[in-house]
Structure 1
Amino acid sequence: MYMVYWTVVDEELGEEQMRPHCHPFDTSEMVQAMQFMEALRARQRAGEGVRFVTMCSEHPDLVGHPGVDVTGPGYDWKKRRK
C-alpha cells in the first residue's frame, strides 16, 4: 500500500494555517501514486500553497514487524568483508 501526504498552506494566513492531507493507493497503483504526486508538485510550481509532498509505502504481506527487533540467543550474524 502507498500513502501520499501533502500539506496545504492558506496563503492569506501564512504558515500558521497549515492543513495536512493524505490519499491512499493500493500496492498495484504505484504509477498512479507518482502521477498524483507530480500533479501536486505542478500545483506547487504554479504558486499554490502545496507543500511537503511525500510518499510512504507499507507492504501488506510483510514477513516480520517493521522497525528494530530483538534477536534470539542463537543469532550470530557477521558482516563478510573481502
Structure 2
Amino acid sequence: MYMVYWTEVEKDGAYPESKPFDTSEMVAAMQFMEELRRRQRAGEGVRFITMCSEHPDVVGHPGVDVTGPDYNWKKRRR
C-alpha cells in the first residue's frame, strides 16, 4: 500500500492531507505527487509532498526487534 501525504497552506493555517493507493498503483501515486508538485510550482500553497509505502504481506514487525540472551554482537575496532 502507498500513502501520499502533503500539506495545504491557506490564509488561515496549514492542513495535512493524505490519499491512499493500492500496492498495484505505484505509478498512479507518483503521477498524483507530480500533479501536487505542478500546483506547488504554479504558486499554490502545497508543501511537504511525500510518499510512504507499507507492504501488506510483510513477515515481521516494523522497527527494532528485541534480541535474545545469546546475542553477542560487538563493533570491531582497529
Unaligned runs of at least 5 residues, structure 2: none
CA distance in 2, matches of 1:75, 1:59: 28
- TM-score w.r.t. the length of structure 2 is 0.86
Aligned residues: CA RMSD:
1.6
Residue identity over aligned pairs, in percent, reads 77
- TM-score w.r.t. the length of structure 1 is 0.82
Question: Which of the two has greater strand per residue?
Answer: 2
In the TM superposition, 1:68-79 aligns within 5 A as 68-75=64-71
Task: Name the counterpart of 1:45.
Answer: 41
Aligned length: 75
Per mean C-alpha deviation after superposition, the further-off stretch among 68-77 and 26-35 is 68-77
